[in-house]
């Protein structure tokens, strides 16, 4: 498969997508969105892939939705095309996705990173929702995901002023899981992805699905959902293997696919 706006490779059990529109700081145009979904379709269909990493360049994870593509669209056009609807497909993937972010993650770039299950940031990363300066607001989930991740006060301040947050503040605020030196970013993200991919794939996917319920449900319903899925895990061979391996003091060999 030849892609024009992204680079796609598989490293062991990890699928790697590198956003690749360097001249536009990886601005997210509709071609890139289509290609990201095609690459994710292929990774999700491949039982050999256990975790996906999405990254950009040293300078930018992505500087936002493509302003040049969007600037002259009218309300009827953007409504009829359900502009950005394809991002819901990105956000609703079942396999775990890690965003490895260096440089700018602005607007839709920050929102794409937040669609992933967690973010590992380089110490050079800068996050922001500057849409307000363009006369719009975040439109790919940012008002909701940012608020859940960092709380109302900071989300309001960021979305209403458009100011950027550096990596240290992003870690303090709960936006990113971990900050690493820029030179180590891809290796750290791939190592983390390999760890996840070495686990039982169905158990990883069920865990992701269940944690995501925390955002979608009230606590009591979320806890009930967790209990149901936890019970269901005992129908897998991987649960038997994982627990038997612990008791027998050996490494587990997960096989459910």
Which residues are marked as active site?
A: 65, 108, 111, 131
What tokens appear for 119 in the block? Answer: 């973010």
Minimum CB separation of residue 217 from ligand HXC in Å reads 26
CA-wise closest residue to 148 among 213, 68, 234 = 213
Q: Which residues bind ligand HXC (CB under 6 A)?
A: 24-25, 27, 63-68, 84, 104, 106-108, 130-131, 134, 138-140
CB atoms within 10 A of CB 191: 12
Tell me the C-alpha distance between 218 and 175, whole Å: 22
Minimum CB separation of residue 101 from ligand HXC in Å reads 13
133 vs 257 by CB, closer to ligand HXC: 133
Helix axis angle, 201-216 relative to 237-247, nearest 10°?
110
| Residue 70 Cα to chain centre, angstroms | 23
71 vs 220 by CB, closer to ligand HXC: 71
Specify whether the CB–CB gap between 63 and 27 falls below 8 A.
Answer: yes
68 vs 249 by CB, closer to ligand HXC: 68
Minimum CB separation of residue 37 from ligand HXC in Å reads 16
15 vs 56 by CB, closer to ligand HXC: 56
Minimum CB separation of residue 208 from ligand HXC in Å reads 24
98 vs 105 by CB, closer to ligand HXC: 105
Minimum CB separation of residue 126 from ligand HXC in Å reads 8
Task: Determine how β-strand 6-11 pairs with β-strand 14-19.
Answer: antiparallel
Whole-Å CA distances, 92 to 39, 55, 73, 208: 14, 18, 26, 11
| Residue 64 Cα to chain centre, angstroms | 15
Backbone angles phi, psi at 61, to 5 degrees: -65, -60
CA-wise closest residue to 256 among 199, 193, 201 = 201
Specify whether the CB–CB gap between 134 and 109 falls below 8 A.
Answer: no
């Amino acid at each position: 498969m030849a892609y024009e706006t992204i680079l796609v490779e598989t490293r062991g059990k990890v699928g790697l997508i590198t956003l690749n529109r360097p001249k536009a700081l990886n601005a997210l145009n509709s071609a890139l969105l289509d290609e990201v979904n095609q690459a994710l379709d292929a990774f999700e269909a491949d039982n050999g892939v256990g975790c996906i990493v999405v990254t950009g360049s040293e300078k930018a994870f992505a500087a936002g939705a493509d302003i040049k593509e969007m600037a002259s669209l009218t309300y009827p056009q953007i409504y009829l095309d359900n502009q950005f609807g394809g991002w819901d497909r990105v956000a609703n993937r079942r396999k775990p996705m890690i965003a490895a972010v260096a440089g700018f993650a602005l607007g839709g770039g920050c929102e794409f990173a937040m669609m992933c299950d967690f973010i590992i940031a380089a110490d050079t990363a800068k996050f922001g929702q500057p849409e307000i300066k363009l006369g719009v607001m975040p439109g790919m989930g940012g008002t909701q995901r940012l608020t859940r991740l960092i709380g109302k006060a900071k989300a309001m301040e960021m979305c209403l002023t458009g100011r950027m947050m550096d990596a240290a503040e992003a870690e303090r605020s709960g936006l990113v899981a971990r900050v690493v030196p820029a030179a180590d970013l891809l290796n750290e993200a791939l190592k983390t992805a390999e760890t996840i991919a070495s686990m039982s794939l169905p158990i990883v996917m069920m865990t992701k699905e269940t944690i995501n319920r925390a955002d979608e449900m009230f606590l009591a319903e979320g806890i009930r959902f967790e209990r149901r899925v936890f019970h269901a895990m005992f129908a897998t061979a991987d649960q038997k293997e994982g627990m038997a391996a612990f008791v027998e003091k050996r490494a587990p060999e997960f096989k459910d696919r």
